[in-house]
């Protein structure tokens, strides 16, 4: 083939890509196709055959790549350029007015505020990265700071533009990061559900879970087979683009680039009373939309004001989610099953005749505890009323005794554990029943699950499946056995699906967890009533596990926020010889058993200073760096602002570093912070 022929083919492929992307945008985003499906298919087939014959013609933004790449071995972690924050909730008009009052107290009295109102899509949050207009990276929200890379899967979503702008001659921004929501429409979910049930008898729970499962599948071909769509609603980062003053022009810019935006449902208000009235009225018609929503999102439509208002905890002050009341439905209670939690708590769960509720097929629900069932005289066989609490967790509200036939049977908590057969006990002053067998397999798996989770020791690559497998194989009999897994390297390599790289990553993650602060270890032990906040209170007071173990319940109860019930639970846990042996093994394995000591010369060296942390530090995890800063009187914020005193930056620092540099905020390394504290170099 001559150079002229190859150039002609390359030009033809480029023209086909541009034309197919244009018509795909018309069809999937604008819902205004200009050509028939058959004509579109013929263009697509021509490009596909051209690329098969000449693979070097395949471009990164080719529509043919949407069919799915080969399955991946796992998901890489992606640090977001800015925190993917959650929102505070409002459930009544009064809540909305209270939110506005909080804003006004933080702003000048004569300032005029515009607000945007957008649907709150019930899908999976995704973060999309574009370089010079080309889609290069996609990730899940994850924990808000770090997500999972799902680029290949997102390429299969046909309403996601692979190159922007889709149409027109506007220059693309040099860098663009967009936050959106991947979802499955009600109609597509119904068709997909019917097809799956006919083929395999399998039923899916709801559109949201089906979409999330598709995007987090390791095989992009599976994702491609599910009819997913996308809404874009936030610009996270923008370089060499227009100067956008607020959310409303940002949404317009996204639509101009070719992103699907909920323009028909979006509103902007300068009259807050009108905004509240719209929120109330809109709730009556939300079920008419072709996709699932669970409320509206109200934002201050001014980026400068957003920056000024800042954040409280993990929630932006300048935005709030208006959530609608949960729907209810009636169905039959077929059975009551008992589940065993990581602390041995026995929890009754209702097995229901499947019923469609608020866009979800519900077949099980929580019954809370035995007292809840007895007080409401809920019987097996009853017709019961259920609702989705917070539009998420189904719960049984009450029985309808007027519909009883006489065949219904009262229920009691079993006196033996349904998993291990061990004795069941109920302690004075508590509503819960407990399995007293500490070796109960259900408890062990769930305790390990919690210990390795992000809320505790954050051991990447170690989840519920691994916990179940290692317990079943006899590798783990108690939590401390996790740190003996490096001695079982050969046995791990012999397990199905555990290749050398996977085993090495797991063992590295286990070793890295030893750098977590002592508060995380205390949280991970799963002591009754001891979560992250209580663990921090206890260790800030006693400083070490040894001092905590030696303390009396009365001493603990004197700490503000620690009541007699917590104190009794903690002292009882430390009094158990088996728990003492576990702690000794964890200490021997090198886990932190105390908080770092403040230097006597300057115990509050960082008092009054606010830090933001970004990137990967040489020896400290982010949690450990946060703990050290707080220990010495400093504060740690989620985002860079004018109130930030220092940015603690490590490798792969992103947009926080750029923003700090623009604002003239001092950039510190881990060694710089050590120097501030008077510590020796690492």
Q: Which of 386-395, 468-477, 610-619 has the highest mean pLDDT?
A: 468-477
Task: Report the C-alpha gap between 63 and 455 in whole angstroms.
Answer: 40
CA 25, CA 3: separation in Å to the nearest integer? 33
Main-chain phi, psi angles of 518, to 5 degrees: -60, -30
Of 272, 270, 271, 252, nearest to 262 by C-alpha is 252
CA distances from 622 to 75, 613, 614, 636 (A): 21, 7, 8, 11
On whether the CB atoms of residues 533 and 520 are closer than 8 A, the answer is no
Helix (H) or strand (E) holding 180: strand 175-183
Instruction: Evaluate whether 181 touches 124 at the Cβ level (below 8 Å).
Output: yes
Whether residue 165 is preceded by a cis peptide bond, meaning omega within 30 degrees of 0, is: yes
pLDDT digit string, tens, across residues 624-633: 788 888 888 8
Q: Tens of pLDDT along 350-367?
A: 999 888 776 668 899 989
Report the catalytic residues: 120
Task: With H, G, I as helix, E, B as strand and everything else as coil, classify residue 145.
Answer: coil
Task: Tell me the average pLDDT of the chain.
Answer: 86
Tokens describing residue 93: 């008009």
162: nearest Cα among 294, 67, 75: 67
Picking from 290, 281, 279, 282, the residue whose alpha carbon sits closest to that of residue 123 is 290
Q: Residues 44-69: what's their mean pLDDT?
A: 78
259 vs 246: CA distance, rounded Å: 17
pLDDT digits (tens, 9 = 90+) for 113-133: 999 999 999 888 999 999 999
Among the residue ranges 8-12, 279-283, 499-503, the one predicted with the least confidence is 8-12
Nearest partner of 9 among 47, 66, 62, judged by Cα: 47
pLDDT above 60 for 391: no
- Name which residue leads in pLDDT, 508 or 404: 508
Tell me the longest C-alpha to C-alpha distance in the chain: 89
CA distance 95 to 419: 44
DSSP summary character for residue 389: E
3-state helix, strand, coil in the chain (%, to 5): 40, 20, 40
Residues 6+ apart with CB under 8 A from 337: 348, 349, 351, 418
Q: pLDDT band for position 381 (50/70/90)? A: very high
- Orientation angle between helical segments 441-452 and 464-472, nearest 10 degrees: 140
Confidence (pTM): 0.53
How many residues make up the chain in this entry?
A: 682
Query: Which of the four pLDDT bands, split at 50, 70 and 90, describes residue 69?
Result: very low
Distance CA 334, CA 350 (A): 8
Triad 547, 553, 557: Cα angle to 5°:
100
Q: What is the pLDDT of residue 438?
A: 64
Please name which of 379, 289, 291, 283 lies closest in space to residue 327, comparing C-alpha atoms.
Answer: 283
Phi and psi (nearest 5°) for 56?
-70, -10
Q: SS3 of 377, please?
A: coil
3-state SS, residue 354? strand
pLDDT for the residue 618? 82
Q: Which residues contact 531 (CB under 8 A, 6 or more apart)?
A: 523
| pLDDT digit string, tens, across residues 579-602 | 899 999 999 999 999 988 654 544
Q: How many CB atoms lie within 10 A of CB 57?
A: 19
Average pLDDT over residues 311-322: 86
Q: Label the pairing between strands 345-357 and 360-366.
A: antiparallel
Q: Which two tokens stand for residue 475?
A: 């590798």
Listed in order, strand segments (DSSP E) in 424-471 are 424-426, 433-435
* 72 pLDDT above the threshold of 90: no
């Amino acid at each position: 083939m001559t150079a002229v022929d190859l150039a002609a083919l390359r030009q033809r492929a480029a023209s086909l890509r541009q034309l197919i992307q244009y018509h795909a945008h018309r069809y999937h985003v604008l819902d205004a196709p200009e050509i028939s499906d058959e004509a579109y298919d013929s263009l697509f087939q021509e490009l596909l055959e051209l690329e098969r014959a000449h693979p070097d013609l395949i471009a990164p933004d080719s529509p043919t790549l949407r069919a799915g790449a080969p399955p991946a071995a796992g998901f890489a972690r992606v640090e977001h350029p800015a925190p993917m924050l959650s929102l505070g909730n409002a459930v009544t008009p009064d809540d909305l007015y209270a939110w506005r009052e909080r804003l006004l107290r933080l702003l000048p009295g004569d300032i005029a505020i515009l607000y945007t109102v957008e649907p709150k899509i019930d899908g999976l949050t995704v973060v999309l990265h574009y370089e010079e207009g080309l889609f290069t990276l996609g990730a899940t929200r994850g924990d808000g700071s770090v997500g999972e890379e799902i680029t290949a899967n997102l390429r299969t979503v046909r309403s996601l533009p692979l190159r922007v702008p889709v149409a027109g001659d506007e220059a693309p921004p040099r860098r663009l990061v967009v936050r959106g929501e991947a979802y499955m429409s009600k109609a597509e979910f119904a068709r997909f559900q019917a097809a799956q049930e006919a083929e395999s008898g399998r039923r899916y729970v709801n559109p949201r879970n089906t979409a999330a499962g598709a995007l987090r599948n390791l095989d992009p071909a599976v994702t491609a087979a599910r009819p997913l769509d996308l809404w874009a609603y936030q610009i996270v980062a923008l370089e060499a683009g227009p100067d956008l003053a607020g959310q409303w022009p940002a949404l317009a810019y996204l639509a101009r680039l070719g992103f699907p935006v909920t323009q028909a449902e979006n509103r902007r208000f300068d009259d807050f009373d009108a905004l509240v009235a719209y929120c109330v009225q809109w709730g009556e018609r939300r079920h008419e939309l072709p996709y699932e929503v669970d409320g509206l999102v109200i934002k201050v439509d001014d980026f400068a004001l957003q920056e000024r208002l800042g954040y409280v905890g993990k929630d932006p002050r300048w935005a709030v989610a208006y959530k609608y009341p949960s729907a209810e439905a009636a169905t039959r209670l077929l059975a009551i099953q008992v589940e065993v939690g990581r602390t041995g708590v026995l929890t009754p769960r209702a097995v229901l005749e499947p019923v469609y509720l608020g866009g979800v097929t519900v077949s099980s629900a929580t019954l809370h505890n035995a007292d809840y069932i007895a007080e409401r005289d809920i019987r097996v066989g009853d017709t019961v009323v259920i609702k989705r609490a917070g539009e998420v967790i189904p719960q049984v509200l009450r029985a309808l005794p007027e519909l009883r036939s006489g065949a219904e049977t009262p229920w009691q908590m079993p006196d033996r554990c349904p998993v291990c057969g061990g004795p069941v006990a109920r302690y004075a002053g508590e509503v819960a029943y407990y399995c007293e067998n500490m070796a109960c397999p259900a408890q062990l798996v769930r305790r390990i699950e919690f210990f390795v989770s992000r809320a505790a020791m954050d051991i990447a690559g170690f989840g519920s499946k691994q916990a179940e497998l290692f317990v079943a194989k006899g590798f783990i009999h108690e939590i401390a056995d996790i740190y003996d897994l490096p001695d079982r390297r050969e046995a791990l390599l012999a397990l199905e699906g555990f290749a050398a790289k996977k085993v090495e990553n797991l063992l590295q993650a286990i070793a890295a967890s030893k750098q977590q602060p002592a508060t995380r270890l205390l949280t991970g032990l799963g002591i009754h009533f001891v979560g992250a906040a209580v663990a921090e209170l206890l260790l800030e007071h006693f400083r070490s596990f040894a001092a905590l173990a030696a303390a009396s319940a009365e001493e603990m109860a004197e700490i503000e926020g620690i009541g007699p019930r917590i104190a009794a639970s903690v002292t009882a846990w430390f009094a158990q010889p088996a728990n003492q042996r576990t702690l000794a093994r964890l200490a021997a394995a090198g886990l932190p058993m105390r908080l770092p000591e403040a230097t006597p010369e300057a115990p509050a060296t960082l008092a009054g200073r606010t830090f933001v942390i970004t990137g990967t530090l040489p020896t400290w995890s982010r949690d450990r760096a946060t703990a050290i800063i707080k220990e010495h009187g400093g504060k740690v914020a989620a985002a860079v602002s004018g109130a930030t005193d220092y940015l603690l930056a490590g490798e792969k620092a992103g947009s926080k570093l750029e923003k700090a540099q623009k604002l003239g905020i001092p950039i510190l390394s881990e060694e710089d912070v050590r120097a501030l504290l008077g510590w020796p170099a690492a």
